[in-house]
Amino acid sequence: MRKWPKWLRFVLYAAGAAVLLGIAALIFVNAYIGKSAPVTEGELRLQALESGVTVVRDGKGVPHIRAESDADLYRAQGYVQAQDRLFQMDLARRQASGRLAEVVGEAAVPSDKLFRTFSLRHAAEQSQEEYGEEAKRVLGWFAEGVNAYIAQAKKDGKLPYEFSLLGYEPEEWTALDSLTIGKFMAYDLGGHWQALAFRHWAVNQFDGKMMEELFIHYPEDAPSVIKANREHPVQVAGAFDASLIPPEFNGSNNWVVSGDKTASGKPLLADDPHLGLTTPSIWYEMHLESPEQNVAGVIFGGVPGIILGHNEDVAWGVTNVGPDVQDLYIEQPNPDAPTKFLYDGKWEQADVREEPIRVKGAETVDFQVVTTRRGPVVSDIMLEDTGAGAVLSMQWTALEPTRELEAVLQFNKATDWGEFEKALLNFNAPAQNFVFAATDGTIAYKANGNIPIRKKGDGQLPVPGDSPEYGWEGYIPYDELPRAVNPEEGFIATANNRVIGDDYPYHITDFWAQPYRYERIAEVLREGDDLTPEDMMALQMDVKNLYAREFLDDMLGSLKATGAAEEFDAAVRMLEDWNFEDDKDLGAPLIFHRWIQQLPRTMFRSSMPDDVYALMPGKNHLTDEMMRQAYAGNPGAWVTGYGGVDAWVTDSFERAVQSITDAYGDDADNWKWGDYHQLVFPHPVGGASPILERYLNPPPIPVSGSHITVQAAGFNNDGTADHGASWRFVADLSDLSRTWHIVGPGQSGHAKSDWFHDQVEDWVKGDYHETRIDGTSEGDKLKLVP
C-alpha cells in the first residue's frame, strides 16, 4: 500500500487536535489507549466458531492460528486481524470506497471524489458477483470473525483509541469491504493515467524535439494522436491533486535460485515488495493451519488468506510488472446535454451514478460519476466546472470483474508449479511478476495479469474517444505472457525491470524501472555458488549504487570542464574516492543523490506549473537519457537549449551542494548520507500533536540504501525514507518448516503492544526473525472457544 498522503495527515491533525484539547495527554496515553489493547492470552468466547481455535503469538507477534476446519480458520483470521489492525482496516475500506469525509471532514472530500470516480467499490461489487461459492464462503467466514471482534470491543468499550479520536464507531465488516481493499491494491500498483495526462498537457505546450524528448519512447502513431490531443485540449493544470497519486515506482525485488547454485541443493527464494512504510505496516504476517492447509506469509489487513509466502511444498513472491493498463480517451460532450458523448458520429448517453458524499460537520456534497463506454470521466475531479469542453475518460483493467482472492486461496493449497500456474489464471489486476519455487526443485517465473491489446497505438497519449479505431481488443493471451521454468542460468530475478526482449510481440510498457537494482541482483547471483539463506538476506541488504557507476565519471567531467571541480574540491574528491555504496556514514551518496534530484528541477521546473511537474512521469528516466545522449555527442533540444550538458550538470551540482551546505555546514568532511536519509514509519494519527507524534511514530533513524539499491529505501525531498521493503522474506526449499522475515515497524497496530515498533532496528540492520510452521512456535497463547 502507499504512504499516508499529505491531506490525510492534515485531516487527522485537525481531528486529533480538537479531541486532544479536552484530554490530558498523560491520562490519554497511559490509560485510555491502554484499555483497548488486544487480549493475546487466556480464553475468549467466539459464538461464530464451531470448534476451538488456538492462537499462539510468537516472539515477534506473528499469530499462528490452528483450527479444526477452514471455516473456523478464516473466522479466527478475521478476529485476530481485527484485534491488531481494526483501525487500519477501517481506514483502508473508507479510503478505497470514497467515504473518509464522513469521519474526518471537508479536507477529505477531494480524496473521496477521486476514489468514487475511480469506482473501486463499484468494481468490487461487480467482481463479487463473479466469485465462486467457495471464495464467497471464505469472505463470509472472515467477516464473521471481524464482526465478532467489533461487537465485543463495542460492548466492553475497548475499540481501538483512533476511533475515539475521530469520534465514530466502525460499521460491520462485509465481504465487499475485503474485495474493495483488493481493488485498492490494484490502484496502488497498476496505474499510469497521470503520465498520459501530463503528456496531453505537454503536446499542447511544446513542439518538435522538445515535445518528443518528454516521452520515454516517441509513439509510432504520433502525428495523428497528437493532432487529436491538440484539436480537443483538456484542462490538466489545476485539475488533479498530485498528493493522491501513488508513488511512481511501487516496485519490488524478487528472485529464485535453482538447487544447482545452492548449498542445500534445493532452491532459494527471496522477495521484498517496496511500498509505503507506515505504522502499522501494510503487511500482516500470519501462519494459518487446518487439516486442509498449512500456509504462512503476509496479507493485507482486511483480506483473508495469505497472498505472499509459502506452504509445506511451495514458496512464491511478487514484484510489480508496471504495465500500461490505464488508457485515457478524449471525450467530446454534447454542449446541450453534457452527459452525452460523441461516438462514431452519434451522441451516446453515458451512465450517471449519483454518489452523494456525506461530510462530518458539514453539508452533504452532491457528486456524480459519469461513465462513458470507455470508463469514468476523470479529468474534472478537482474542477468545479469544466463547461462543455473536452474531458478525459479512463479505461482500466481493474474496473473489470476480477477474482484475485480465488487465486490467493489456490496459492495457499498448491503443491507444485502446475497447480500454482493454474491458480494464476484468476490473478488479473494488478499485473505482477511471480517467482516460484517448489520442494521438487522447480523454479519458475510468470508476468501475470490482464494486459490490454490495443486496436491502435501504444497507450502513451490520450486517444480520441469518439473513434471506433481506438480501444482494446482483449488481453495478451495467458499462455503468451512472459514465462520461464528452470532456466539454464540457474536463477530468475525481477526488479520492475524490462522483462521482455525486442522480439516480444505484444506491448506491455515503455516505462520500466531503472535497471540498477536488477543488474546488481543478477551480478551477485551470477557469480554465486553454494548460496545460502544468509547470502539471500545479505543481498536484500546490499547498498551498491550502480546508477553512480554508470554516470558519475561523466558528471565529474562536466565539473572539470566548467572549472567547478576546483571550486568544490572537497566534495569532488569525496565523490572520486567513493566505493559506490550508499552507506549512511558516507558523504558521497548525499552529494550524488541530491545532485541527481536536482537535475530535472534545473531542466524542467521553470517550464511548467507545480501540479503538472508533480504529474510528470519518470523525471530521472528522461534526464538519464538526456545525459546519455549528450555525453555520447548527441545533445537533444532541452540540453542544447539550456546551454549544453556541462552547464546543466554543473548548475545542478552547485544548487545541490548549496542545499547541503545550508543544512549541514561548509565542512564536507562532516556530511553524511544518514544525516539526510532517515527511515520513518509515520502513523496516520501521529501528526495530530507533538505528543502523539512522539508516542506513535518511531524516531527517524539514519539508514543506508536508496531507491536504486537492492536495499530499497526511497526518500522524499526532505530526505525522509518512507518507501521501501515493506516485507523481507527468504525461504530455503530444503526446509520449509522455517522461513525468515522482517515486517517493519512491527506486527501490531496498537501503541501499547510489545510488537508495535519492535522491528524498526531490525529493518535498518537486516536482523531477520524466524517463523516456523511445524507447531513448535512458542509465545502468548489465546484459546478461542465457541
pLDDT at 24: 47
CB within 8 A of 568, min separation 6: which ones?
559, 653, 654, 657
- What letter does residue 139 receive in the DSSP assignment? H
pLDDT at 30 over 70: no
Q: How confident is the model at residue 21 (pLDDT cuts 50, 70, 90)?
A: very low
Percent of the chain surpassing pLDDT 70: 94
Query: Residue 693 pLDDT > 90, yes or no?
Result: no
Grid cell 533513524 is found at: 701
> How does the average pLDDT of the chain come out, rounded?
93
Q: What is the pLDDT of residues 136-161, one digit of tens each?
A: 999 999 999 999 999 999 999 999 98
Are 327 and 321 a contacting pair, CB within 8 Å? no
Residue 697: pLDDT above 60? yes
**pLDDT digits over 329-362, tens only?**
999 999 999 999 999 999 999 999 999 999 999 9
pLDDT of residue 484: 98
pLDDT value, residue 31: 66
* % of the chain at pLDDT higher than 90: 86
Distance CA 556, CA 565 (A): 7
* Position 564 pLDDT exceeds 50: yes
Across residues 717-738, what is the average pLDDT?
A: 97
Q: What is the pLDDT, as a whole number, of residue 301?
A: 97
Instruction: List, for residues 497-530, the tens digit of each pLDDT value.
Output: 999 999 999 999 988 999 999 999 999 999 999 9
Average pLDDT over residues 687-696: 81
Cα dist from 645 to 208, 301, 652, 751, whole Å: 20, 48, 11, 51
* pLDDT at 625 > cutoff 90: yes
Q: Looking at the predicted structure, is the pLDDT value of residue 22 above 70?
A: no
Q: How far apart are CA 580 and CA 317, in angstroms?
A: 29
In this prediction, residue 242 carries a pLDDT of: 76
- Can you say how many angstroms the Cα of residue 766 is from the centroid of all Cα atoms in its chain? 21
Written as nine digits, the cell of 390 is 473536452
- Pair 652, 586: CB distance under 8 Å: no
| Per-residue model confidence as pLDDT tens digits over 584-612 | 999 999 999 999 999 999 999 999 999 99
Beta strand 337-343 pairing with 333-334:
antiparallel
Phi then psi dihedrals of residue 162, to 5 deg? -60, -30
The set of residues, in sequence order, having a beta carbon less than 8 Å from that of 576 and lying 6+ positions away, is: 556
Kindly report, residue by residue over 33-88, the tens digit of the pLDDT. Answer: 778 889 999 999 999 999 999 999 999 999 999 999 999 999 999 999 999 999 99
Q: Helix (H, G, I), strand (E, B), or coil: what is residue 98?
A: coil
Average pLDDT over residues 220-230: 85
Query: CA-CA distance, 737 to 296, in Å (whole number)?
Result: 10
Characterise 622 by phi-psi region: left (phi > 0), alpha (psi -120 to 50), beta (else).
alpha
Decide if pLDDT at 186 tops 70: yes
Give whole-number Cα distances, 747 to 61, 83, 340, 591, 622, in Å.
Answer: 6, 11, 50, 35, 39
Residue 179 has pLDDT above 80, yes or no: yes
- Computed on alpha carbons and rounded to an integer, the radius of gyration of the chain in Å comes to 26
CB contact at 8 A, 394 and 193: yes
Place of cell 480520441: 464
CB 552 within 8 A of CB 592: yes
Q: Report pLDDT for 217.
A: 82
Contact 367, 389 (CB under 8 A): no
Q: What is the pLDDT of residue 25?
A: 52
- Would you state the pLDDT for residue 48? 92
Q: What pLDDT shows up at residue 249?
A: 59
State pLDDT tens for residues 241-299: 777 777 765 679 999 999 999 999 999 999 999 999 999 999 999 999 999 999 999 99
Burial of 156 (0-12, 13-18, 19+ CB in 10 A): exposed
Beta strand ranges found along 559-629 (DSSP E): none
- How much is the pLDDT for 28? 54
At 388 the pLDDT is 62
Model confidence at 12, in pLDDT bands (50, 70, 90)? low
Q: What's the N-to-C CA distance of the chain in angstroms?
A: 35
Matching residue, cell 493544470: 237
> What pLDDT does residue 257 have?
98
How many alpha carbons fall within 13 Å on the CB side of residue 452?
21
